[in-house]
Amino acid sequence: MTFIYVLAAILIFGLLIALHELGHFTAAKLCGVRVNEFSIGMGPLLWHRETEETQYSLRLLPVGGFCAMEGEDEDTGDERAFARQGFWKKLVILTAGAFMNFLTGVLILLVLYAGESAFYVDQIAGFADGFPLEGEDGLMVGDVIYKIDGYRTYMRRDSELFLRYNDGQGVDLVVLRDGEKVTLKDFPMYRSTYDGQEGRFGLSIGGLEIPATAWTKLQFGWYQALDFVQLVWFSLVQLVTGNAGMNDLSGPVGIVTTITEVGAASKTALIAVQNIAYFAALIAVNLAVMNLLPIPALDGGRIFFLAVDAVTMALFKRKVPEKYQAAVNAAGLVMLLGFMLLVTVHDVFKLFQ
Supply the residues annotated as catalytic. Answer: 21
User: Residues, the chain, total?
Assistant: 353
- Residue 161, C-beta contacts closer than 8 angstroms, at least 6 positions apart: 234
d(CA 32, CA 54): 13
d(CA 65, CA 60): 10
d(CA 22, CA 105): 15
Per DSSP, 202 falls in state S
Output b/e per residue, 43-64; b: 16+ Cβ within 10 A. Answer: eeeeeeeeeeebeebebeebbb
* End-to-end C-alpha distance for the chain, whole angstroms: 22
Q: Are 51 and 90 in contact (CB under 8 A)?
A: no
Residue whose C-alpha is closest to residue 320's, from 310, 309, 311: 309
Q: Are 260 and 2 in contact (CB under 8 A)?
A: yes
Residue whose C-alpha is closest to residue 153's, from 169, 171, 168: 171
Helix residue ranges per DSSP H, the chain: 2-30, 87-113, 158-164, 214-241, 252-265, 269-291, 299-316, 322-351
Q: Are 306 and 322 in contact (CB under 8 A)?
A: no
Residue 155: other Cβ atoms inside 10 A: 19
d(CA 95, CA 98): 6
